[in-house]
Each structure stands twice: as C-alpha cells, then as structure tokens.
C-alpha cells in the first residue's frame, strides 16, 4: 500500500486520539510499577485555551508520554478550578443580560444559575486540550467544587481553626470594588501609572495661615482625621497642637507629630486617612485617630463623605479637584508616576478597606515550605526563582482567606442572633457547639463569605486522590507525592507555596519533587500576549493550520525553562516542516524495492556510525530531560533526525536511481526508523503513531503502539567512530562546497587525493565516493601540485580540477582567505598574550583559544602551499 504524498495532520489527530482513549492508554491504576504523577494546574472553569496553556500543557504531555514509554505508571490528573471571582462575574453578567439583578434573587437561586453556567461552558478548555494531544487520564477529571473536594476544603478550614491558625477580625484589606470582595496581597498586581499630584491648602483654625498637603487622591480628603508633621521639621514647629479644617467639609482635625513622615517628600506634611490607606491606618491606631470610611463596597462615595454621595471614586476625584480650584484651595497640580494595585481577576484599581474578614496565620506554616526548597527536597527550575520565593516566605503576611461571594466553598462558621459564632461542619454540629458553650443557637445562620479559591486549590495534589479525607487510601499512598509540577512563575506564591504548606501540614511530605516554571509567551516584539493587544493567535487556529505536532514543536523550540519566549508563527511553520521532513523520509524508504542480499560494507559502515551517533544523541537528550531543558532536548532530537538521519544516513545507504536496496540494509533502516519515531513521539505524538502503524513495519497487534513503545535507552557509543565520521562528512561537504564555488555541476565526478596521517579513510572510501561524486580516490604521501587543497580534521585533501579551474580567480580566493585567517590569528594571539585573560579564564576556555590558533596556523600553511603550487 502506498503512503500519501503529504501528511494530513487533521486525519491522523482525530484517528489516533480516539484510538488511544478507546484502548485505555491514558488510564492509570496503581500497580507494582514505579508511578510518575503530574497534576494539571487546573485552568479556570471560565477559561478557553490560550498560548500560555498551550506551552504549559505541551510540556506536561511531553513529560508524561516519555515516562509512559519508560515503563512507569504515568498518571496525569486533569481538572478545572471554580475561580470564585471570575466565575461569579461571568454569571452576574449573564443574569444582567437576562434582566436579572443578583441582589434580587436568593443565594440558592444564584448558585443554580452558576452550576448551569459551569455545566454549559466549564468544560470547553479541557476539550481543547484533547486537540493538543494531552494524554490525561480523563476518567480522573476533577473540579475544585466537586463534593469530595469541597468537603476536603471545609475539613481543612476546621482543622486549621482548631489548631489556632485561623482567626476573624477587622483588618485593612485589599478591596476589589468591581468584584466587591477582599483579595490577598498576592492577588494584587502593582503597576506604575501616570497620575496627578494635587497640592491642597488646609486652613489652620483661628488664623489666616494654611498648610499645603500633596496627594494623588483628593476624593479621600473627606475621610481625613489628622495632618501629620515630622517632630524635627522646623517649618512646622509652630503648628504643634493646632487644628486644621478639612477643605470642602470644614471638619476640624488635629495636627499630630510622627517620624513616619518623610520631610523631603511633597511638602513634608501628610494627610492621615486611616480608612483608606494601610500606613495611615497603622498611624491612626498609634495616635487613636477616628476612622471614617467614605466608600461603599462598589467604590462610590457614601453619606459619610457629606458631598458627592453616590459618585464613583474616579469621577469624584475630578469633581473634588474642580471644587477645590473654585474655592482657591488648590495650590498646583503636577504630573506624577506611582505604583497602583490592580485586582488580578477584574483589573479594577484596589481600595485599601477596613473589613471584617477571616485570616490564616502564615508565619509558622511557611517555615517548612521554605526549608523544602532551601535543602533541595523540592527543586525550583530554573533556580533563579529561589531568591524571590525565599524573600516572600520570610516576609509572609497573614492570608485573608474570606471572599464576599456566593460561588465557592462557604465558610463553616455559624452565627446566632447575638452575633456570637462557632466553627462547625454542619448546622446540627453548630447548634451542639453553641449549647456546649452555654450560648443560645436561636436565629442560627451560616457565614455568607466563601473561601479564597487558592485555599481549595492549595489542596489539589492531595484532594484529587482523596488524600485529605482518606489519607490511608491506596491511590493516595501510591501517587503522592507527585513528581513534577509545571506552572507559571506568577503563581509561585499564589499556588505553589500554598500547596507545599498544606501538603506538609497534612503529610509532613512535599506535594511534588520538582517545579518547572515556564516563561511568559510574548510576541516577537516582546509584548505579553493578550486579547486586548490583539497579538495572541488562537491556538486552535494554529493547530488547524500547522498541525498539532507542528505547533507543539514550534512552542518548545522557543521555550527555555523560566525564560520568556518570543513566539512567532514561523516556529510553527518550522515544526510543520519538520513533520513533513520525517514524512518524506519515510516515503523515500517505503518506496525502495529490495533484493535479498547482504548489506554492502559501505552500508554497514554507515549503520555503525549512525548507531553510535543515535546512542550519543539519546545520552544528550536524557541529560537535557534530567535538567528540564526540554527545548534543548527537542533541538538535539531535531538535529539527529534532520541532519544525521535524513541528510546523512539515508543518503549514505540509499540505492542508486531505480536500483533495489539490499534487504539487510533495509531491515537496518527500518530498525533505526522505529527508534527515531519512539524518540520523537513525546514531542510529535500524532505523526509518529501514524507512521508506526504503516505496513512497512509489518502487522501490529492492537496495543503495539508507539505511545507505549520502549523509549530508547543509550547503549553506549564509540566517540572515535563519531569523530572519524565527522571528518568524513567534512571531506564530503568541502568537495561539495568547492563544486558550488567553482560553478561545477554536481554530476561532474572529480578526483580526490588524501594525505591520510590520522584517519584510515580507506574504511569510508565508498561512502566518500558516493556522496561527494568522486571519480577516483587516491591516498598520497606528499602535496599534489596544482590542486585545490583543504584540511579535513588534521589531514590534507586535494582536488585536481584541471580544466575546471580559473587559476587567477582561485589565487584571488586563496589570498583573501589567507588575509582573513591572518586577521583572525592576530585577534586570538592578542587574547592569549593578555596575562589577565590567561590567569582568570577557565583552563578549557584558554585551551579553546590555543586550539583556534593552531587550527588557523595549519590552514594558513596549507593555503600558502596551494598558492605556491598555482604559481
């Protein structure tokens, strides 16, 4: 049966993905094998596939496929995260389109709508990952609000509360006015923004004097409760003990002194607004100042502002500035840049806000999580992220774990009519707890707040195996700790650190051994890909255009661990070309007729070289995988197949036009082709499975698939064989280059003479004659006069071009090359004569420069001899 002229990715992808699932190749059940476990960072249930997901999940799939082929029990657990803030916002928007206000319906009714939305849209991204070829155990798919996972979350809250780690209190929190919920510090993205710095005049009571305060937030002056000066600032000594009037509302506030004020910043005076700034709040606590909160939860001004009630904070900013100008209380306005916090979920500007919230004490819990990474039990790849991880863990703050939402795990706290509270799993247990404490359970109601999404996903490596509720179960004991976590650096603290914290607290073990931190996918201009910029291609469209294997290769060719990748569709084109190269090489081999005779010596020589080169490449690739250099592992695989296998080995052994190939040689090629397909399968699963089942390899059994074929293991290699053949390749390449340079047709056979002093070229004679189109290969002991010469390794080679050579042009070419090499030699000698370089550089670097010098001198000598021989 003939093979199609071109590879059809779509047909192969649909066929083989279904086949793999139908035959249970992705399924993992505990057995006697070594487990290899990855838990997928659960994408938001609101999400669709973007380039970051593509990169992350391609890396995971490469790792899981390779482990599966290595005979490990490979288990990749997929799932999605309920994403409280993002999902609630989606559902609220959907209801608004239907004319329904969230406030007008009950919590239960809202949750009905939310679950309906989740069932309709929540699985989109997982279906898209199937298109990517993700070999997840789909029967294990989890959702962070599945009943068993939710119960684990509630159990964990109660456990931490009983251990004294959870408390409730009024604290200054990061408030998202759009999501109308508190956020943890890690959910706030700080960005530098262009603002205005307003210099506002505050009248000093009972005087004609005023004091000037610089602020970026004039809309908060109505919440001011003091003006603060530095005790040693001579400019304001006379104001001590006085009062000033808040502009526009004329409320009296005191002048206080504190060294917290920076005398050099602004005017050296600070307005203190305890309800709307964390530092001001701490200053207010220290000086017993009143706290006036003038903002509603949605960022509009409330009645305490006295003016502009109901206006949005940013509109109020402009209006307050204008009102101040109208009463001559603005001294000047300057352009100003400063850091502003934005919600990681809604991108709304954050408001510091005093709020009653639930907190998890982090100081003690964080210590073991830092130790695991410090002592190497958990490896961060690349290591450059350790410094920021260490800094965060050593300066960790208590985690605000409550969110003012309905979608999520509801906090298991219960209040009576007197607002007294207990923590309990059920209402019945709460009633019993109230009674045990001698308190009335009358009017019992559950806390409205839900837990931060990261609290639930922090349990992910345990809860997907039901290890929180049933730590003794076989699956948890077998699969946990997991092996590799592949995730983005921006959630190193959001998620990775919290999984380590919770994993240790429950099991005294880390949840994983390695954390591979991917880079950010950027466009070729270096901009982060985003929908708003319109610079992010649709991954599904890319896979349709270039084939999934092509896109996977394109992503990985440009993605060193932890470094941002500058993505360009040309990488996908390169990946598609690679797939076509393998396809066409297969078509070439399949098209050969055979003759039942042994292989020639030249074919055996070529096979011996390729076998050694293949084993060398496998050792390189294994080393790259061990160091999580997947991009390098792919590049080594790419070069082995494109250069060594296709460009050299197949050319060396292929029969002459329309002649048959020796059967033994063909069997050797097929053997190598299977090994090549197995080696590249983790990167290119569909193409390799398609070719694996071709009739060229005979009849396969139902489960004889490349997905579970044995991953190549290096059998050791003879470096001498590889080095010798590199010189042979150099001879062939030089002859070809001379032909091109002289405009001689490839069909014209040329004589070649070699002065072989190092390598026994006789072993490779037939290979050289075939690929270099040599009319006669002779071995000489002296220079060949009038011939073009070149150095291959350390041996001199000569081509007598006779009538094919333009003597004057050749002399000119050689003279130019000598000039270039002499200039190069001067640069190398200058470096070697620099004592500081020789003393400070690594010995291997110095040796490399000395080798360059020797090579340049040898080439110059040969070229000068050639010049002399030409007259």
496, part of any domain: yes
Instruction: Identify whether residues 606 and 680 lie together within a single domain.
Output: yes
pLDDT recorded at residue 531: 63
Distances in Å between the Cα of 157 and the Cα atoms of 143, 410, 527 are: 19, 10, 40
* Torsion sign over Cα 545, 550, 551, 555: negative
Strand, coil or helix: 381: strand
230, part of any domain: yes
Tokens of 768: 């050289």
423, part of any domain: no
Q: Is the bond preceding 293 in cis, omega lying within 30 degrees of 0?
A: no
Query: In this structure, what CATH number is given to the domain that contains residue 80?
Result: 3.40.50.620
pLDDT recorded at residue 354: 87
Question: What is the rounded distance in angstroms from the CA atom of residue 659 to the CA atom of residue 140?
Answer: 54
* Torsion sign over Cα 339, 345, 349, 350: negative
pLDDT recorded at residue 561: 59
Q: What number of residues does the chain have?
A: 871
Predicted TM-score (pTM) of the model is 0.85
Strand, coil or helix: 655: coil
pLDDT recorded at residue 272: 95
Q: Give CA 132 to chain center in angstroms.
A: 16
Instruction: Identify whether residues 637 and 653 lie together within a single domain.
Output: yes
Tokens of 129: 């990952």
pLDDT along the chain (871 residues), means of 10: 84 96 97 97 88 91 98 97 90 92 93 93 90 97 97 98 95 89 83 93 92 94 95 91 94 94 86 92 93 94 96 96 95 92 88 92 96 96 93 93 95 95 96 95 96 96 97 97 94 94 96 92 75 77 95 86 76 94 96 94 96 98 95 96 97 90 96 98 98 94 97 95 96 92 86 92 94 94 86 91 69 83 87 85 85 85 75 64
Strand, coil or helix: 221: helix
Instruction: Identify whether residues 617 and 490 lie together within a single domain.
Output: no
Sole residue written with tokens 């305490």: 304
Strand, coil or helix: 86: helix
Question: What is the rounded distance in angstroms from the CA atom of residue 183 to the CA atom of residue 180?
Answer: 10
Three-class HEC string of 696-717: HHCCCCCCCCHHHCCCCCCCCC
Question: What is the rounded distance in angstroms from the CA atom of residue 757 to the CA atom of residue 488?
Answer: 55
Question: What is the rounded distance in angstroms from the CA atom of residue 187 to the CA atom of residue 169?
Answer: 20
Taking 3-state DSSP, the helix, strand and coil percentages for the chain, each rounded to the nearest 5, stand at 50, 20, 35
Query: In this structure, what CATH number is given to the domain that contains residue 222?
Result: 3.90.740.10
pLDDT recorded at residue 745: 86
DSSP string, 115-181: HHHHHHHTTHHHHHHHHTT----GGG-EETTSHHHHHHHHHHHHHHHHTT-EEEEEEEEEEETTTTE
Please tell me the total count of domains within the chain: 4
Question: What is the rounded distance in angstroms from the CA atom of residue 201 to the CA atom of residue 158?
Answer: 52
Strand, coil or helix: 405: coil
529, part of any domain: no
The answer to whether the annotation marks 513 as part of a ligand binding site is: no
Query: In this structure, what CATH number is given to the domain that contains residue 676?
Result: 1.10.730.10
Instruction: Identify whether residues 332 and 379 lie together within a single domain.
Output: no
Range of the domain at 321: 181-351
What CA dihedral angle connects 187, 191, 196 and 202, to 10 degrees? 40
User: Which of 646, 711, 650 lies closest to 680, judged by CA?
Assistant: 711
pLDDT recorded at residue 851: 86
According to DSSP, residue 486 is labeled E
2, part of any domain: no
Instruction: Identify whether residues 687 and 730 lie together within a single domain.
Output: no
Instruction: Identify whether residues 780 and 691 lie together within a single domain.
Output: no
According to DSSP, residue 526 is labeled S
Q: 353 forms bridges with which residues in the sheet?
A: 173
Instruction: Identify whether residues 200 and 334 lie together within a single domain.
Output: yes
Instruction: Identify whether residues 707 and 740 lie together within a single domain.
Output: no
Q: Give CA 593 to chain center in angstroms.
A: 47
Sole residue written with tokens 């979608």: 407
pLDDT recorded at residue 1: 56
843, part of any domain: yes
pLDDT recorded at residue 526: 76
Cβ atoms of 244 and 203 closer than 8 Å = yes
Instruction: Identify whether residues 644 and 748 lie together within a single domain.
Output: no
Instruction: Identify whether residues 656 and 749 lie together within a single domain.
Output: no
pLDDT recorded at residue 47: 80
Cβ atoms of 748 and 804 closer than 8 Å = yes
555, part of any domain: no
User: Which of 37, 13, 55 lies closest to 560, judged by CA?
Assistant: 55
536, part of any domain: no
Question: What is the rounded distance in angstroms from the CA atom of residue 558 to the CA atom of residue 565?
Answer: 6
Question: What is the rounded distance in angstroms from the CA atom of residue 390 to the CA atom of residue 514?
Answer: 16
Residues 6+ apart with CB under 8 A from 245: 202, 203, 205, 251, 252, 253
Three-class HEC string of 808-826: HHHHHHHHHHHHHHHHHHH
pLDDT recorded at residue 469: 96
Instruction: Identify whether residues 212 and 330 lie together within a single domain.
Output: yes
Strand, coil or helix: 77: strand
Question: What is the rounded distance in angstroms from the CA atom of residue 814 to the CA atom of residue 808?
Answer: 10
| Cα first-last separation, the chain | 61
Instruction: Identify whether residues 120 and 65 lie together within a single domain.
Output: yes
């Amino acid at each position: 049966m003939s093979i199609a002229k071109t590879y059809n990715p779509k047909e192969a992808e649909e066929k083989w993905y279904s086949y793999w699932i139908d035959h249970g190749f992705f399924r993992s059940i505990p057995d006697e094998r070594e487990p290899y476990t990855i838990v997928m960072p659960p994408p938001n249930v609101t999400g669709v596939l973007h380039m970051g997901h593509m990169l992350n999940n391609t890396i995971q799939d490469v790792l899981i496929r390779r482990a599966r082929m290595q005979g490990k029990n490979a288990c990749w657990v997929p799932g999605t995260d309920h994403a409280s803030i993002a999902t609630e916002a989606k559902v609220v928007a959907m209801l608004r389109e239907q004319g329904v206000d969230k406030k007008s319906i009950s919590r239960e009714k809202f949750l009905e709508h939310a679950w309906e939305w989740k069932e309709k849209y929540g699985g989109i991204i997982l279906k898209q990952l199937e298109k990517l070829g993700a070999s997840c155990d789909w029967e294990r798919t989890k959702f962070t609000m599945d009943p068993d996972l939710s119960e684990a979350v509630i159990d964990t809250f109660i456990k931490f509360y009983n251990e004294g780690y959870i408390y409730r209190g009024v604290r200054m929190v990061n408030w998202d006015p759009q999501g109308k919920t508190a956020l943890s510090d890690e959910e706030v993205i700080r960005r530098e923004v262009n603002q205005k710095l307003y210099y506002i005049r505050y009248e000093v009571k009972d005087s004609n004097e005023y004091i000037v305060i610089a602020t970026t937030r004039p809309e908060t002056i109505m919440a001011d409760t003091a003006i603060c000066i530095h005790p040693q600032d001579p400019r304001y000594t006379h104001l001590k003990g006085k009062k000033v009037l808040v502009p526009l509302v004329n409320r009296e506030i005191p002048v206080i002194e504190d060294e917290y004020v920076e005398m050099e910043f602004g005017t050296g005076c600070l307005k203190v607004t305890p309800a709307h700034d964390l530092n001001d709040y701490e200053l207010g606590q220290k000086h017993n100042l009143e706290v006036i909160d003038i903002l509603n939860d949605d960022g509009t001004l409330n009645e305490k502002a006295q003016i502009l009630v109901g206006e949005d904070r940013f509109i109020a900013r402009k209006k307050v500035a204008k009102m101040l100008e109208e009463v001559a209380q603005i001294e000047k306005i300057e352009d100003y840049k400063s850091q502003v916090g934005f919600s990681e979920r809604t991108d709304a500007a954050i408001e510091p806000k005093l709020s009653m919230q639930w907190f998890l004490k982090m100081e003690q819990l964080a210590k073991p999580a830092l130790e695991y990474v410090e002592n190497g039990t958990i490896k961060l790849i690349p290591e450059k992220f350790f410094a920021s991880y260490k800094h965060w863990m050593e300066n960790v703050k208590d985690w605000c774990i409550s969110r003012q939402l309905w979608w999520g795990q509801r906090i298991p706290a219960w209040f009576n009519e007197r607002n007294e509270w207990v923590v309990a799993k059920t209402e019945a247990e709460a009633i019993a707890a109230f009674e045990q404490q001698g308190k009335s359970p009358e009017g019992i109601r559950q806390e409205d707040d839900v837990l931060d999404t990261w609290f639930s996903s922090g349990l992910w490596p345990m809860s997907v195996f039901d290890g929180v509720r049933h730590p003794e179960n076989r699956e948890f004991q077998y699969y946990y700790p997991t092996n590799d976590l592949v995730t983005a650096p921006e959630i190193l603290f959001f998620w990775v650190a919290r999984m380590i914290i919770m994993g240790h607290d429950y099991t005294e073990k880390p949840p994983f051994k390695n954390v591979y931190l991917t880079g950010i996918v950027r466009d070729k201009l270096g901009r982060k890909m985003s929908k708003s910029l319109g610079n992010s291609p649709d991954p599904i469209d890319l896979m349709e255009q270039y084939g999934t294997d092509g896109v996977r290769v394109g992503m990985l060719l440009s993605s060193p661990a932890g470094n941002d990748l500058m993505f360009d569709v040309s990488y996908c084109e390169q990946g598609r070309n690679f797939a076509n190269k393998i396809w066409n090489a297969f078509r070439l081999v399949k098209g050969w007729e055979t003759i039942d005779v042994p292989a020639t010596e030249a074919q055996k020589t070529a096979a011996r070289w390729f076998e050694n080169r293949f084993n060398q490449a496998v050792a390189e690739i294994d080393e790259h995988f061990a160091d999580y250099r997947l991009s390098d592992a792919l590049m080594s695989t790419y070069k082995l197949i494109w250069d060594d296998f296709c460009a050299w080995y197949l050319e060396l052994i292929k029969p002459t036009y329309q002649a048959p190939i020796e059967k033994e040689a063909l069997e050797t090629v097929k053997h190598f082709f299977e090994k090549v397909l197995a080696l590249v399968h983790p990167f290119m699963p569909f193409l390799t499975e398609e070719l694996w089942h071709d009739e060229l390899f005979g009849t396969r059994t139902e489960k004889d698939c490349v997905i579970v074929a044995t991953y190549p293991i290096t059998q050791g290699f003879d470096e001498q064989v590889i080095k010798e053949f590199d010189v042979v390749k150099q001879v062939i390449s030089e002859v070809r280059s001379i032909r091109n340079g002289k405009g001689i047709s490839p069909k014209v056979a040329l004589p070649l003479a070699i002065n072989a002093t190092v390598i026994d070229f006789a072993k490779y004679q037939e290979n050289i004659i075939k690929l270099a189109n040599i009319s006669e290969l002779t071995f000489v002991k002296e220079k060949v006069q009038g011939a073009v010469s070149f150095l291959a390794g350390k041996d001199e080679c000569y081509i007598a071009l006779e009538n094919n050579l333009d003597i004057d042009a050749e002399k000119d070419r050689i003279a130019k090359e000598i000039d270039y090499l002499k200039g190069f030699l001067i640069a190398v000698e200058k470096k070697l004569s620099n004592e500081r370089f020789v003393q400070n550089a690594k010995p291997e670097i110095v040796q490399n420069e000395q080798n360059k010098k020797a090579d340049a001198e040898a080439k110059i000598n040969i070229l000068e001899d050639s010049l002399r021989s030409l007259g």
